[in-house]
Structure 1
């Protein structure tokens, strides 16, 4: 099991850095296949996202990908939302959580397919709005064990005028806030498998570095195509798992 977690951690790290996701969109379905239950998979995923998002935030800060003084307000809202979402996990049925997860992936896929990779309007800078968006996404993040960027990226591109690559980077920055908040909440509720989570977290760091390096070397049009393919794949894997039982 440890070897599988190490390989999964490295793979998730690469995808996380490249796509700007927390990693839950990949790790939760695969952890289900490995044999973990949905709630345990969420806890392991959140643990990995804490380490991965911190590493990614440091790298993007060095590269000056975005202005922290503004985008941090997404994170402030996300912290509160993730706490609420983490509590909901304890209350909801596992099947409900899995279908929620599939619905989030479907929404993201649709928004990305319709969006333009290059901004068609001026970037919206509104800190109270950033906080509100972060709070709403944070609820889903805490509930589903995903960092929130799976929702954040299409919202920033479709409605807020963010360039696609910048939106992906901001989405992963947002994960730093929601994952720390969700981790603390789930740990308090006794829902974290620390041993498995730490194995995945530490092995994902190398992948994060490579994924971000690759992000800055791919053309934006190609990046959107790859991103769409990635979300279609995740949707198909999760749908099959739910339908096949």
Structure 2
């Protein structure tokens, strides 16, 4: 199982860096197929996201993809929201978590499919709003074991005027806050499998570097098409798992 987790970590890290996601949208369904329960999968996924998002934030800072001065307020709200979501993992039924996860993927797919890769409105800069949005997204992050960028990216593009590639980078920056918060909460509740999570976390660092390098080479229109296809695949895999039981 160690080899499978290491390979999964590299793959998830690459997709995370390229698509600006925390990795839970990929790792949670695959971990389910590997035989882990939904709550175990969420704990392993969150552990990987802590390491991957920290590496990504460092790389994007060096590349000056965005300024953390304003966007960090997304993260402040996300910390509170993710802690609340992490607690809800303990009290909700597994079936509820699984169907909520599928619903979030469906929403994201719809928003991305109909959004423009080039913004059609000025970029909104509003720190209180950033905190509010971050808090709401953070609840789903901690609850579903995803970093939050699965929701954050389409919100930034569709409603707040962010360019697609910048939104992806900011979404992964947001993951740094929510994943740390969710990790602390889940660890306190005894829902973290440290060995499996550490294997995925360390192996994902290589993938993160590769994914961000690929992101900076692709044209934005091509990037959007690939992003939509990626979410269609995740939706199909997760739906099949839930329907098949």
Taking structure 1 as the reference length, the TM-score comes to 1.00
In the aligned structure 2, how far is the partner of 1:209 from the partner of 1:128?
A: 32
In the aligned structure 1, how far is the partner of 2:193 from the partner of 2:121?
A: 44
Point out where structure 1 has 5 or more consecutive residues left out of the alignment: none
In the aligned structure 2, how far is the partner of 1:236 from the partner of 1:146?
A: 17
TM alignment of 1:127-142, pairs within 5 A = 127-142=127-142
Give the aligned partner of residue 63 of structure 2. 63
TM-superposed CA distance for 1:85, in Å, is 0.1
Aligned length: 245
Give the aligned partner of residue 49 of structure 2. 49
RMSD between aligned alpha carbons? 0.2
Cα deviation 1:185-244 (Å, max 9, x = unaligned)? 000000000000000000000000000000000000000000000000000000000001
In the aligned structure 1, how far is the partner of 2:96 from the partner of 2:191?
A: 17
Give the aligned partner of residue 20 of structure 1. 20
TM-superposed CA distance for 1:162, in Å, is 0.1
In the aligned structure 2, how far is the partner of 1:62 from the partner of 1:3?
A: 32
Tell me the SS of whatever aligns to 1:236: helix
Cα deviation 1:156-190 (Å, max 9, x = unaligned)? 00000000000000000000000000000000000
* Matching of residue 79 in structure 1 with residue 87 in structure 2: no
Give the aligned partner of residue 194 of structure 2. 194
Taking structure 2 as the reference length, the TM-score comes to 1.00
Point out where structure 2 has 5 or more consecutive residues left out of the alignment: none
Give the aligned partner of residue 157 of structure 1. 157
Give the aligned partner of residue 212 of structure 2. 212
